[in-house]
Each structure stands twice: as C-alpha cells, then as structure tokens.
Structure 1
Amino acid sequence: MTPPHRLRLPAPGGPPLRGHLPFSDAPGVPDPIEVNSRWLTRGGRPWFPVSGEFHYTRYPAREWEEELLKMKAGGVTVVAAYVIWIHHEETEGRIRFDGDRDLRRFAELCARHGLDFIPRIGPWVHAEVRNGGLPDWVLARTDAPRTDDPAYLAPVRTWYEAIAAQLHDLDRSKGGPIVAIQIENELYDQPGHLLTLKRTAQAAGLSAPLWTSTAWGGVQLPPDELLPLYGGYPETFWTEADGGWPDTCRKHFFFTHQRDDEGIGADLRPTTVRGGDPDALADRFPWATCELGGGMAVAYHRRPQVDASDIGALGLTKIGCGSVWQGYYMFHGGTNPPGELTPLQESHATGYPNDLPALTYDFQAPLGEYGQYRPSYDELRLQHLLLADFGHVIAPMESALPERRPTGQGDRETLRWAVRGDDRSGFLFVNNHQPHEPLPDHTDVTFTVEFPDAPPLTLPTVPVTVPQGAYCCWPLRLDITGLRLDWATAQPVCTVDDGSGRTVLVLAATDGIAPELALDARTVAAVSAPSGEVAAVGDRILVTGLRAGTDALVEVDTADGGRAGLLVLDAATARTVYRGRAWGAERLVLSDGGVVFDAHASEVRVHSSAPEPSFAVLPALERAPVVAGATVKETADGVFSRYTVVTAGDGDVGGAGGALPVALVRASGEAPVVARGVLGRASVPADAYFDAVAAEYHVEVPGDVPPGALL
C-alpha cells in the first residue's frame, strides 16, 4: 500500500519586504518594474519573466530578426546576451560594432518585437570564450584582472563607455527594452570590485531598473546592490570525464529550497574562496535564475548528451521549488566568430581546463546553432504558455514541500512533489524524471493538500500511477471566467476565446495518467463532455474517462451566466501548441513545425520541412489563409480548423526535404594517443591528425537549394 502523499500549506507569513533594495525604474514609465524580497512586479502586477540567452556575435545578423521571433513564439519575454569584449575589440582601440557585432541593432530588434533585453556586460563573461572574453591586450597590461587595479579599470571604463554609446536612448526612460544589466560573471570573492564595476557602468551612462549578478558558488555580493541570479544544469562538460553524473546536477531534479549550485564553473573557482551566506540573500531577494540549462556544451574530454525531457523536467521542477524568473542558458545556439589574431574559444592553449570546439557553440539548445528547432523547445514552450497566463498568480505563491520527501540525492523511491500555493489555491508539481538514473513508476498515488483558509483537496478520486519519466503541474482551485476548477490531473497550458465568446482553458494530458476534471458545482449551471462520464459527486461535478485530443472540449455554462470550456489535449498534441495574434485575433495554432507571429509584417510563418505543411487554428478563420504559389485545403480537426498547404507544380513551400547523396572518400584511421593538458584532461589532437586519419565524405549538393534547406 502506497503511503499517503499529504502536505499542509503554512499560513501566509506576512507581506514581503519592500523598499529595502536600491532598484528603481525610470520616472514616468507606464509599467514600472520593482522587486521585493519574494517576487518582481511590473505595472503593480506580479511579473514572472522568462529570459533566454542568445549571443548576437555568434549568429548572422541577417537572421537575427527571425530567430528573435522564434524565441518569442517559444515564450521567451526577455532576451539576454553577453557583450563579449574580445569579439568587439580583439585589437586595442579598434572597437567594432559592425555586421554581426551590431549590438544596437540587436537591441532595437528586441524592442521592435516587444522583447525586453538584458546586456550581460562583463567585462569577464566566461561564455566558453578565450580569456573569458577579456582581450589578450588587456591581460598583457595587468597582473590583476578582475580587480580594482587601475591598469585594469582604465580599459574597462573605455569599454563600458563604448557599450553605453551603442545603447544610448534604449533605456527605459526613452521607452527602450533594457530591463536589467548584469555586471561581471562568476566572481565569488570580490564584492568591492563588483560595486566598482556597477558604479563605472552607471558613470558611463548605462541604466536599468535591475542590476544583477550571478550568485552560485557561495558568492559574496556588495550588500543589496545586485540582484542575485541562480542556475542549474542537467549535465556538465567541465567536470571529469570519468566522474559520472555530478551530484550538483542530480539535485536539480528534486524539489528543494536550496538556491545555490556550487557546481557551476567549479573547475575555474579558487579553492580559497570564502562563501557568502545564501540564507541572508534568500531573506532579501526573490529566487530568480539566469542559467537554467537549456542544453549543454561539449568539451573534448567530456561530451554529455542532454535530452529534451532533462531540460523540461528541470525547468518545471524549478517553478515548483519557488523560482519567480525562469532564465535559460543557452536558449539559442550559435557559432564562434573566427578571430583575426587567435582562435576565440576556451581551450587548453589559454590555460583553461577544457578544450572546446573552435567554432560550434550549439549548446544542444532549444534553438540550435543554425536556428533548428529541437524537442526541448516544445517542452519549454508548454511551460512558458502556462507562465504567460498564470505567472502573475504563481509568482506570489510560496513553495511548500511535503514532510515525507526524499532522504537524499540517492533516493529514487520517494515520489518528488511540491505545491506553490496561497491560503486557498495553488499548483501541484510532480517530477518523476531525471537523467541517467531512471525513476520507478509510483502506483496508487493520491495527494491531499491542506490549505490555511479553505477545505483540503484530495485528488484524484481514483488513485493513479505516476509513470517513469513523467513531470507535470496540476491546478488546485483555479478560476476561469466564473468557473472554478477544483483540480485537474492535466497541466494548464493557456486560455483562448474560441470565437463564440467562450473562454477555453487548454490543458495537456500526461501520458499514462487519465485526465480527471473536478468542477466546483456552485459555479456550474450546465456541463457537457464529448466522451467519458459527467457525474455530480457531493459539491463537485467530476468529468472522467475523457479521451484527450483536439475534440476533447468540455463545455460549461457557468452559474453567473458566462461560458467556459476545458480542452484537454493529448501530450503529443499539446507540444505543438503555439499562441499568438494572427489574422486579427488571439489564436491557438497547432503545428509540428515552428511558428512565428510577425505583427509588423502581418504574417504568420510556419517553418516546416514537410512536403505539404499543415497547421490547425482556433478560433477558425473566416476564410482559408493565402499562401503564395500554393493552394490551401481546409478540414476539421476536432474543435480546430486544419489548413494544409499543397504546392502547385514544382513549387516547394515546405523546404527541400529528402536526403543528399553521400559517398565515403576515405575511412577513418586509428584513434590518436590521448594528449593531456590542463588538470590532466584530454586535449584536442593537432589539426594534422585530422587531416591524416579523419574520415572524409563527399556530399553532393544541388546548385538550386533554397537558403536554409540544408539545416
């Protein structure tokens, strides 16, 4: 018999601290950004940002706009980017902001499409860049970089002034997109220097409502001057090749209130660092993140593979732990620019413990090195849609952990769950996934959540099995335009008007867990379901046996005369959901390919390699959309209208598709004798080895391949 899963939410602990931090927005902005000890607000409303890292200097400028639109469609609301000094000023005095280095244009494109921007200005950024981003000539003139050494601060001041000139009039006071600025990176025991850098940046003309710093590794920060940001990765390239899966990664798949991750960048951290007090920061600052692993880079000595479920489970678990800002590194991969004087990647040649690829910085990110979509993009978009609609509700909710929880990081037998809640409602989070070490099925599971000012909820009515690999979030007493949903064993995705005046809550079923909807009968006048059973049980109306899919719309007339709906999509279909303004209204779009909503061009663009791309829309369009060079067929797909694009003649709307002829020219030779570099880690063999013994293939590429078709 499975022990009961019970949690008593604590009584509210009083209001958060306010006014104790020196952060302030520009006077007169219509949506002032503020921060208290537990969450952020914007325009007086709780604000749950979603930030994603995208390095403009690692991507072609001609494609920035489309890639930013992809990020926005993926639920990113804030774009973060390292401003990598050595990419801009490899040669002293020749500061370049042209082409792929055009910082101002990148920030303006963010603003054009309603995305906030965070420049992470260093000067040391790490980012797997040569010297952590410091130009060689800077290191040549100081023996004490990353300190208040005047020989170091002088070029830093000039560099900050150059950044400020690029971002002139793009601050919030001028309606610009800059909501925060990060100072330095992973500097653990120099709080005075961090404050010096902040004051230097301000004196150069940089301004933002928030000033931030990375806070992992027991960082010491100048008191109340920088908002600490945390991180957590599902895997690491910087640990030993034979060290197994690090405990510092394993802990991110448990619900915990520990914010710090002492493992990030630990191979570069001085062993003499005296840590700060994490509890003191937790009492004064909300739990915000900037480096949740959107993937992971590879080094020559260690090449981890990260799955989409690793990224999705980590992200959802952090929300359950108490995060009020989901920040991902990387969200978009890229390619290192070729250096004019030296290679620009982290390597043994510059004293780093890791040899990284000279060019690729793909990072296995949700959007890859060439803009390709990965399954992790769909996993995260599902969560970001939830935050877009309900983040303002979740952010003020405190995280509570059950009394019976895992006894340590080796515990795979205890179900991992938590609740974000207030005195009457909340969200229940479950994670039964972690990399490398599968977790078992948990049978006969029910949950009882006790609230301070409302009756407890015990759900579901019939115990379920939480299958291996599942992770999900269930609503508890969620209000939807007059309807109260006491619970659902399906994850809220977003809401949409179905075109008839009915507000529909879209939910995502979890594979292996039957959807059960429990409606507060006092809020319901009538209810109908297309499948399963609708039954009154006490003061609730239960909908059970519903077959999840595009037709699984439970229609509700509410007691106050309104109309609501609950649409339960199966897990696979839910991961094809996009929401954006399209064809004059807010709509859901289902697509196996990528979708971007370009308001300025009044276009919806579908990125698909299918011979006949299709997408489904809710609410339906008055007429089928027009696609140049093709006809569009309309069919019903449950409550959606599906549109299939059929090309005319030899036209190709979906992309080149198909395989290219590949011929082996030379088979690979013997593996090299491993050379050892920094910390005894394997070094990349010399180019001559690859020239002599690497396999060689000939790929026949047609001359008329359209741009992007080979990605």
Structure 2
Amino acid sequence: MSEVSRLNLTETAQVEIHTGKMGAQGGSNPKGESFGFTNYYMTRNEEPFIPVVGEFHFSRFSHLQWEEELLKMKAGGVHIVATYVFWNFHEEEEGVFDWSGSRNLRHFIDLCAKLDYPLILRIGPFCHGEVRNGGIPDWVFAKPIEIRSNDPEYLKLARKLYREIALQMKGSLYQDGGPVIAVQLENEFMHCGAPNDAWGYKAGKFLTSGTGGNAHLAELRRIAEEAGIQPMFFTATAWGGAAVPEEGFLPMLAGYAYTPWIPNQPPSREFIYQDLHAVPAEPVNYDTREYPVAYCEMAGGMQVSYNARPFVPADSVEAMTLVKLASGSNLVGYYMYHGGSNPVGKKGYLNEQFLPKVSYDYQSPLGEFGRIGESYDRIRSLSLFLESFGSILAPMTTILPDGQSNIEATDTEALRWCVRHNDGAGFVFLNNFQDHVAMSERPFRIELETSCGPVSFPKEGEAVLPANTGVVLPFHLDLHGVSLISATAQLLTEVRADGEHVIFFYAHHGLTPEYVVAKSSLSAIDTHDGQVSENEDHYVIRPVVGKNKSISLRTADGNQVRFVTLSRQEALQIYRFDLWGQPTVVISDGPVIAHHNQLVCSSPGSSSIAVSLFPAPKSEMRTNTGQTVPFQAEGLFHTYTLEFSAYVPQITITNPTEKSALLQFAGDWPSHVEDVWLEIDYDGDVAEAFLNGKLLTDHIHYGKTWSIGLKDVYNQLEQSTLHLSITPLRKGTVHTFINQAQVERFEGVEIAVFHRIEAIPHYRVSLFPAAQR
C-alpha cells in the first residue's frame, strides 16, 4: 500500500477577508445587477464569484460570425469576454482611422450588450498580442518621441487614440447599462516589449518595455477618463515585476508552460501547488494579500512560431486551471480562448516576425475559423463546477501540505495535492500532470482531520490517480441538506426540477466513485442504481456510472436530492442553458449553443447527433426543418437522435507539383450543411492557402492537422481555385561560402508532400418544443 498522506486542518488559520484595495471599485447597472470585490474574490450580485474570462480578438475574426462565436463562448462556460483594441489595426496610416467591417469595435460591443455578456477592453496603446510592433503603428517610429513614456508628444498620440476608442464605446460602460466592466491600459508595462518590426534591419531589435512606472499609468488613466473611458475598474498585467498602481487597478497574472520564447524549455513550475495569495509565484509590485488572485493570461494554447513549435495538450489546460484554483486563484482567464486570423494591412502583413502571417489559431479552445478543440470541453466542465459551486469555493483558504510548494517540476514520485477549505468543509485538489515530463498513475490515500470530523479518500484502502489527470474531491459539504462527508467523484453542476435538487458528479477513468454520507442528514435512501454499506454514523454509496442511473436521497428536513454520476466522456459532453423557461442540462455528442430559445446542434463530419435533455421537455420536440423528433427515455433524460442526409462535398484536386494542390469546388451546400472544413495532413515546413491570389491563411507545421473553415468564402469557391502550397522542410546540411556574394548550397532531402486533403461537412439543425411555434 502507498504511503498515507495526512493533513490536520484544525490547526490552520483561515484567510482574513476584507474589502482590500479593490473594495471601492465595484458598481451596478440600471437593472440592479452588480460586480464588486473583496481582497480575496470578486462578487456578482453580492455573492462570491469565480469568473471564467475568455480572450477573443474581434478584429481577428469575421464580423459576420461574431455573434455565433460569442454564443459558442457562452456555451463553453466563459462568463466575461476580453479583447484587445490594436492601434495599428485601426490607424495604420496616421490620422486615418478604420472602424469598419471586422474592425468595428462598436458592433462587437453592441453584440456583447445584446447577449448580456460582460466585456473587458484592453486598449493599449501598446498591446503586444503577437501583432506587428506590439500594436504600435509604423508611422509612430518616424517621430522623435519616446514611446511608452510620459513624453508629451507620445501622450498626445495616446490622447487621440483614446478619444477615438471612447467614441466607439460611448454609452457602453456597465454602470450605464452597457457590457464594459473594465479596461486595461498598456500591457506588461515595465516588464517587456515586443519585436520592433518597423525597424526591420535584423531580428532581435525590441521595443522598450517602458519608462515612468506608475506615473505613466496614472497619465494614461487621466487621459482615458477625460475622454469618457471611466469603467468600474482598470486592470494591469502584473507579472514580471510590471508596474501596478495601488488604487483602482486589478493586478492580473499569467501562466504558460509551452512557450516559443524559451529554447529547449525545461519543465515549468506552473503545475506545482502554491499559496498565491500569501506568496506570489514570482516577484510582483503589489501586496498580494490586498487583491484577489486573478489570471488574465492562463494558456488556453500557444501560437506556433517558425523557430519554436510547441504543442499544447488539452490535459495541460485542464490541469493548470485546477492547480491555479487550488493555489488560491479566484479568477481564471484564458489567453487565447478564441483564436483567429490577422487582417491584411494596407501596406503589408500585420503579424509579428517569425509567426504566421495570417493564422492566429493559437491551438485555443475555439480556434481560427471557429474550430472547436479538445480543451473547449475541459474548460466548460470546470466552468460548470464554478458556476454552481464557485460561491462555496471562493472564500476557502488554500492549505499546502508540508513540502508541496518545494516539489521539483521533474519529480514524478511525490503526490501533488493541496486543500481549500472553510470551517472544516472544502475540496482536495490532486494533480498528476507535468509539462515536458511523463507521469504515471499514482496510488494514493489521503486522511484529513477537520473541525467537522475526520475524512479519508477513499473511505477504505487506497485509490488510483490516473496519469495526466487533475481531480477535485469534496468533503463536508452540505448539499441541500445532504451531509456529504467525502466523495471520490468530482462535482460538476446541479439543477432543480420537479421538486428535486439534482446534483451531477462524474467519475474519472480509473478512480472508483464513492459517496460517504452522514446518516443523520437522511431520512431515506434509494440506491436502486448502486450499492450501499451502512456504518454506525454514515453510509458508503458506490454508484453505477452513467446518465441513465441515479441515487435518490431524502434529507432529514424533507428535501429530495438526487445524485447522478456521469462518466468522464458524458461530463465532457455536458452543457447547461436556460431554455424553454427552465435551466436545462444537455448532454450532446456534438457542439451545441442556445439561440433564440432554440438548441442549435452541430455535427462535424457525422450525419447524426444524439442529444439528451433534462428536465425532459413537456411537449414533443421539432426541428427547424419541420420534423418531429422521437425520444428514448434514459433515466432522467430524454435522448433525441437527429439524422441528416449525408453530404459529400464535390471537390476536384490536382497536383501541378508534389508541393502544390489546386482545389476546385462545385455544387451548392444543402441547407442542413452549415460549413465545410478542409482537413490537410502534410509533411513540410510551412503551408499557405491562396484564394483568388490572396493569402487566406497559413500554417507553420507542428505535427497536427491543418484545418480551414470555408463558410466565410463560400460564395467565392465555385468560381475560384483554392491553391495549397508547401514550403519544403529541409533535412540535410547547408554550406555557406563567399564567391563575389554569399552563397548557400544545400545537400540533403527536401520534404513537401500532401498525405490527406479531405472536405468535412458540418451539419446543423435547431431543436425546440413543438408548442413554441
């Protein structure tokens, strides 16, 4: 048996929660909804709140698709949207501002307002964001000024920019009824710059990281407020010793484990538990005890560069989120949550050097063209947990077992775990993922001494923590009158229906689920779908896993509570919407969004999709094509199978050379096909896609399939040829010598070959109760 890990929580102090430095920065809108702060967490309508923030750069995506993508973000569990306003995207030529089309900030703000979506604007002047010059237009460098400083001439330019932005966002502040809750001024100020691509003579020339510290941020704030940009609070990127004003600014942190800026990157410490409220992960210029721990740039992926091509696994995104939550973070923000494409400028491309000219996919949960990645499901499952139980977690103190914060990143033997608790109730967090290190499954047994009594995980013997997995296990929680002493299943979400509180857990692969419940809290128990053993003062319940199984509990005070234990796969397919007048849990094997009181169901590549609904609709369900859809009862759920007529896109592929492919499309897409995606597997260095002679997108090869969504160029496809081109990957030796000029000779093999080019239809149908029409 493995060594028992023990922790006495009765001897630990609780964090002191008070107003802190952000206490005066909240506010309410005309509807009476509010946001606020303590020194430890954010509040929403005066309740503790752990928001999920998702970065989506509006100007890197087609404005025709913004609403749909925002709805996908909502369905994915994002509570707050963040976006950059890149100066050089809007004033590429001095004095000529462009706020049209996909640069239309006002339209994006209005869509957020329409969807009741809080918004954080990051307005520069310096933004970075992997754009040319960090967002500073080229023409600025022709002036004798010091950027990112209190140089009066630079401040004049900042004033003009802020006034233009203020015109676009007029009336959009939260306190005025709009969506904008916060504004970030500058970015990584006094910490780092960006490549100076305007200089151009050689690589490695960087912009200044800035001068003037808090005095410069104070000037930018004064200029912004004079222009009418007066949000409830400002934010500041606070890592790397960056400048952070003491009042009115929420310091925001970053966490990246797969980076192109560290050659031969060693394992990071991002997966080691810390108490970030008490001891910051790195030196910062503010008192961490006076502010909530907030992350605005936790890696949702990573942009591939020419010189470094990291792949970010979905396991890492999920594990880092759980480690930061366990370590005290009470705001999790993903950079990027939604990727996109750089617009092409009037004078050239607007990318940062060594990066793709157009593609900014970022391997993010939602990628270029709206690609849905594996991490989308991971983040959503964690967001559902925070939505239902975040108000319980937010005030809880981080407690580290001895030695946890000193574990080496390369250590594969030590059990990585910590606790967040409040008055004896809380959550045990375990992590068995580490970047750049292979981890093995880990037997464990954890015993806690709490003010509510002893707890062990599992109740008897030991359990197994799977490799590359993060787990959250509850203890001593009151769930609507059920006294849950412990569980080896992870809490997911809850909904009230038909007089019952239905609580959804899920079982991790290899971790046997059990619930230990105090007998005194129950008057009846129905374990038809499971086994129960009775002890002197508690029951140990071992459930059957699956959405069609459940356990019914009646509490001593008369509440009816039901536990449903989903499989890991079902948990990654679950959504929660307000639909048809009630909170509705959806389990779908394809992506879904809620729009106009309909459930819009998508099916990439498959001509059928199964959708399970709870509470079960009270009337028959129909589709937007007029079909009535039968259902199958599966426990609490009604499952609807939606079938489509299979469609095979008509595409002709010719190869003028091994490294080129010409694609001709024919025929209209049927109405139930919402998009067609190209999936391209190739070997080579870099690939580009041209339509009508213009670069549509590009791809630096990093070992994964290249995907291109076509719906935005659908009307051009039938009259045009799509050209795919590969730059060969060289394997061999380059010899350099001088003969009147520098000469290169390559000896070796050039690799450029297409292995698969396939057009994948994405089907779509809307589902709603027949009584609705």
TM above 0.5, yes or no, is yes
Q: Which residue of 2 aligns with 1:251?
A: 269
CA distance in 2, matches of 1:696, 1:448: 55
CA distance in 1, matches of 2:510, 2:103: 48
For residues 531-566 of structure 1, give each alpha carbon's deviation from its aligned partner in whole angstroms, at most 9, with x where no partner exists: 43212212111102x231112311111111110011
Q: Which residue of 1 aligns with 2:180?
A: 178
Q: Which residue of 1 aligns with 2:427?
A: 427
Q: Give the counterpart letter for 1:244 in structure 2.
A: Q
The answer to whether the Cα contact below 8 Å between 2:239 and 2:284 also exists between their aligned partners in 1 is no
Aligned pairs for 1:542-621 within 5 A: 542-544=540-542, 546-598=543-595, 601-609=596-604, 610-621=606-617
The answer to whether the Cα contact below 8 Å between 2:2 and 2:445 also exists between their aligned partners in 1 is no
Q: Which residue of 2 aligns with 1:395?
A: 394
State the 1:25 CA deviation: 2.4
CA distance in 2, matches of 1:316, 1:700: 37
Q: Which residue of 2 aligns with 1:53?
A: 55
Alignment of 1:635 with 2:632, yes or no, is yes
Q: Give the counterpart letter for 1:616 in structure 2.
A: S
Q: Which residue of 1 aligns with 2:67?
A: 65
Judge which range, 10-19 or 210-219, deviates more.
Answer: 10-19
Distance 1:111 1:658, change over 3 A: closer
Distance 1:708 1:299, change over 3 A: farther
Q: Give the counterpart letter for 1:373 in structure 2.
A: I
Q: Which residue of 1 aligns with 2:257?
A: 234
1:538 to 511, 531, 536: 536
* Structure 2 unmatched runs, 5+: 191-210, 648-669, 684-723, 736-743, 745-749, 766-773
2:230 to 207, 226, 234: 207
Judging by fraction of residues, say which structure has more strand: 2
State the 1:400 CA deviation: 0.9
State the 1:29 CA deviation: 6.5
Q: Give the counterpart letter for 2:272 in structure 1.
A: F
Q: Give the counterpart letter for 1:521 in structure 2.
A: K
Q: Which residue of 2 aligns with 1:511?
A: 509
CA distance in 2, matches of 1:95, 1:260: 41
The answer to whether the Cα contact below 8 Å between 2:301 and 2:335 also exists between their aligned partners in 1 is yes
CA distance in 1, matches of 2:763, 2:568: 33
State the 1:318 CA deviation: 0.8
Judge which range, 585-594 or 52-61, deviates more.
Answer: 585-594
Q: Which residue of 1 aligns with 2:314?
A: 308
1:345 to 351, 373, 383: 351
State the 1:668 CA deviation: 7.0
* Structure 1 unmatched runs, 5+: 263-274, 348-354, 677-685, 687-691
Q: Which residue of 2 aligns with 1:624?
A: 620
Aligned pairs for 1:24-423 within 5 A: 24-25=26-27, 30-188=32-190, 190-240=213-263, 243-245=264-266, 247=267, 250-258=268-276, 276-277=284-285, 280-347=286-353, 355-405=354-404, 407-423=407-423
CA distance in 2, matches of 1:260, 1:41: 22
Distance 1:276 1:506, change over 3 A: closer
Query: SS of the counterpart of 2:463?
Result: strand
Q: Give the counterpart letter for 1:619 in structure 2.
A: P
Q: Which residue of 2 aligns with 1:268?
A: none
CA distance in 2, matches of 1:178, 1:656: 32
State the 1:526 CA deviation: 1.0
CA distance in 2, matches of 1:474, 1:422: 15
The answer to whether the Cα contact below 8 Å between 1:117 and 1:179 also exists between their aligned partners in 2 is yes
CA distance in 2, matches of 1:586, 1:309: 29
Query: SS of the counterpart of 1:107?
Result: helix
State the 1:605 CA deviation: 0.4
Distance 1:638 1:159, change over 3 A: same
Q: Which residue of 1 aligns with 2:701?
A: none
Distance 1:67 1:661, change over 3 A: closer
1:671 to 730, 753, 773: 730
Distance 1:699 1:400, change over 3 A: closer
CA distance in 2, matches of 1:152, 1:394: 45
The answer to whether the Cα contact below 8 Å between 1:611 and 1:653 also exists between their aligned partners in 2 is no
Alignment of 1:458 with 2:456, yes or no, is yes
For residues 466-524 of structure 1, give each alpha carbon's deviation from its aligned partner in whole angstroms, at most 9, with x where no partner exists: 12122111111222222121211111110013x43111110011110100011121111
CA distance in 1, matches of 2:357, 2:755: 21
Q: How many residues align?
A: 661
CA distance in 2, matches of 1:117, 1:661: 35
Distance 1:675 1:358, change over 3 A: farther
Distance 1:484 1:132, change over 3 A: same
Distance 1:696 1:310, change over 3 A: closer
State the 1:244 CA deviation: 3.0
The answer to whether the Cα contact below 8 Å between 2:166 and 2:229 also exists between their aligned partners in 1 is yes
For residues 635-693 of structure 1, give each alpha carbon's deviation from its aligned partner in whole angstroms, at most 9, with x where no partner exists: 123331110113479877466789899999999756289999xxxxxxxxx9xxxxx99
The answer to whether the Cα contact below 8 Å between 1:25 and 1:208 also exists between their aligned partners in 2 is no
Query: SS of the counterpart of 1:253?
Result: coil
Query: SS of the counterpart of 1:399?
Result: strand
TM-score (norm 2): 0.80
Distance 1:673 1:335, change over 3 A: farther
Q: Give the counterpart letter for 2:503 in structure 1.
A: L
CA distance in 1, matches of 2:427, 2:680: 52
For residues 161-182 of structure 1, give each alpha carbon's deviation from its aligned partner in whole angstroms, at most 9, with x where no partner exists: 1111111111122211111111
The answer to whether the Cα contact below 8 Å between 2:29 and 2:177 also exists between their aligned partners in 1 is no
Distance 1:506 1:661, change over 3 A: closer
For residues 448-471 of structure 1, give each alpha carbon's deviation from its aligned partner in whole angstroms, at most 9, with x where no partner exists: 2233x3223222112111121221
Q: Give the counterpart letter for 2:325 in structure 1.
A: I
Distance 1:106 1:4, change over 3 A: same
State the 1:224 CA deviation: 2.7
For residues 93-137 of structure 1, give each alpha carbon's deviation from its aligned partner in whole angstroms, at most 9, with x where no partner exists: 111111101111111111211210000011101000001001111
Alignment of 1:23 with 2:25, yes or no, is yes
Q: Give the counterpart letter for 1:234 in structure 2.
A: A
Distance 1:252 1:668, change over 3 A: closer
CA distance in 2, matches of 1:402, 1:305: 32
Query: SS of the counterpart of 1:193?
Result: helix
Q: Percent identity?
A: 34
State the 1:37 CA deviation: 1.5
Judge which range, 113-122 or 579-588, deviates more.
Answer: 579-588
Q: Which residue of 1 aligns with 2:14?
A: 12
CA distance in 1, matches of 2:519, 2:535: 9
Distance 1:427 1:698, change over 3 A: closer
Query: SS of the counterpart of 2:641?
Result: strand
The answer to whether the Cα contact below 8 Å between 1:122 and 1:183 also exists between their aligned partners in 2 is yes
Query: SS of the counterpart of 2:390?
Result: helix
Query: SS of the counterpart of 1:503?
Result: strand
